Structure 1
Amino acid sequence: MSILKSIGLSIVLMAGVLSLAGCMDRQTPEEKMFEELEKVVSTEKVFEDQQDPLVELEKQEKEIYEQIISLGMKEYDQIVKLADEALTIADKREEHIEKEKESIKKSEQEFKNVSKIAEEIEDPSLKKQAAELQATMKERYKIHDELYKNYKQGLQYDKELYEMLKDKDLSFEKLEEQINKVNKVYESVLKNNQEFNDRTDRYNKEKMDFYKKAGIEVNTETKK
């Protein structure tokens, strides 16, 4: 039930542009774009911080699930104990995915400022690059919405499964039906996650291409 680890936005450290308070009016639109795009990066720091804990919790939950299905009904008390542990982990996963979603929402809100600045760019080719970059990021946000929705559905199905496993009278048919629901929704999660990572990679590349064409020198440090 584990999903692939998400890829975050590149952390870009400014090398060639100085951000001076009170000098905003003297900045070019390209320099303003740089500052705004790096603010977007900072808003996703909380998103980045959720990735390792989520992957670890998913791993723990998977191990517990495998223990449960290896037990027979003679070990019912142990099954109940493990199912309750899995439910606790699922709750923790939900806390992390909510923090992740909130971080992405703040990023999306911050990114709206980019459109206003992009309108000030005079160079046609740079303006086109800025538009492409914006389109990619909007696709990324849309994909994350779908990823979040499916992940939450998966969590609900997981919890239903663990509750069912505590039922001594659970039929094989009902168990099989629930497992199929879990597997199907996580197939969608994996697909969403890959698409999200692909869009993130594309956005990072387009952003660096924009900086290069705009003559903005940067050092990059990518955190995944």
Structure 2
Amino acid sequence: MIHRYFFIFGIWLLIVIILSGCSASPVQKIYDHLEQSAEIESLVEEHQEPLMNFETQEHQLFEEMIVLSLADIDKIQTLAEEAIELATKREETIEEERERLEQAFEEFNHVEELISGIEDEETREIAAAMYETMEHRYESYKRLYDSYTNSVQLDKQLYEMLQDEELKINDLENQINTINEAYKDVFQKEDEFNTFTKEYNEHKKQFYEAAALNVSFE
């Protein structure tokens, strides 16, 4: 699920104007931090294809397990162990994404100390709104990460349960229901994160326009 969240961030095609003065202005410094942050975050895409493959393979294994009977317990156990390995790979991939996004947010945070130095009031207010939205976006991402990793843990518990020859159908149904509810929460967190991403992109565009930066968006 998480692999879909970051494409929304967008691709900025940028043409930087030459600003007057011997040292960079607060606007130019903010611009540099914004684009460095975006560049770091764009590297998250490297993890998307393997993550999608892990999810697909894991789902296929689960589909195989649920049609087998207890007479095939050895086969179920083998498939369950494979599914656990794939779930672990998902956790590792998501952790790598989290670290990359944390780096991007840390780079973005340099913007805060520069906002007060913007001379134009309207541009300064837009920059402040942009910063606040990114803060909300980061907090939203952390909630999404926690929700997703919790769901993966529940998946792994399910695969452990399926290896138990004495597993009761009621316990299995309860675990599946718990997992379904957990992924509903993931979807809700996804929507929240996407909303903040969209708002941030809008504020970023407004900032570039208010600061009269010669930037083209596609």
TM-score (norm: length of structure 2):
0.91
Q: Which moved more, 1:84-93 or 1:49-58?
A: 49-58
C-alpha distance after superposition, 1:32-57 (max 9, x if no partner): 11111011112213423223322232
- Structure 1 segment 27-106 matched on structure 2, within 5 A: 27-106=24-103
State the one-letter code of the partner of 1:88: E
Residue 205 of structure 1 is matched in structure 2 by: 202
Whole-Å Cα distance in 2 between the matches of residues 17 and 81 of structure 1?
A: 60
The answer as to whether partners of 1:45 and 1:103 remain within 8 angstroms in 2 is no
The answer as to whether partners of 1:50 and 1:100 remain within 8 angstroms in 2 is yes
**Per-residue deviation, 1:30:** 1.5
Whole-Å Cα distance in 1 between the matches of residues 61 and 98 of structure 2?
A: 26
Q: Which moved more, 1:121-130 or 1:61-70?
A: 61-70
**Per-residue deviation, 1:26:** 2.6
Q: Identity of aligned pairs, percent? A: 36
The alpha-carbon distance between structure 1 residues 112 and 76, as it changes in their structure 2 partners (threshold 3 A), is: same
Q: Give the count of matched residue pairs.
A: 217
The alpha-carbon distance between structure 1 residues 18 and 86, as it changes in their structure 2 partners (threshold 3 A), is: farther
State the one-letter code of the partner of 2:4: K
C-alpha distance after superposition, 1:99-119 (max 9, x if no partner): 111112112211221011111
**Per-residue deviation, 1:120:** 0.7
The DSSP-based 3-state class of the residue aligned with 1:87 is helix
The alpha-carbon distance between structure 1 residues 11 and 18, as it changes in their structure 2 partners (threshold 3 A), is: farther
Residue 114 of structure 1 is matched in structure 2 by: 111
Give the alignment's Cα RMSD to 1 decimal: 2.0
Which segments of 5 or more consecutive residues in structure 1 lack a partner in the other structure? none
The answer as to whether partners of 1:4 and 1:190 remain within 8 angstroms in 2 is no
The answer as to whether partners of 2:91 and 2:149 remain within 8 angstroms in 1 is yes
**Per-residue deviation, 1:4:** 6.5
State the one-letter code of the partner of 1:100: E
Residue 11 of structure 2 is matched in structure 1 by: 11
**Per-residue deviation, 1:18:** 5.0
The DSSP-based 3-state class of the residue aligned with 1:120 is coil
The DSSP-based 3-state class of the residue aligned with 2:16 is coil
Residue 132 of structure 1 is matched in structure 2 by: 129
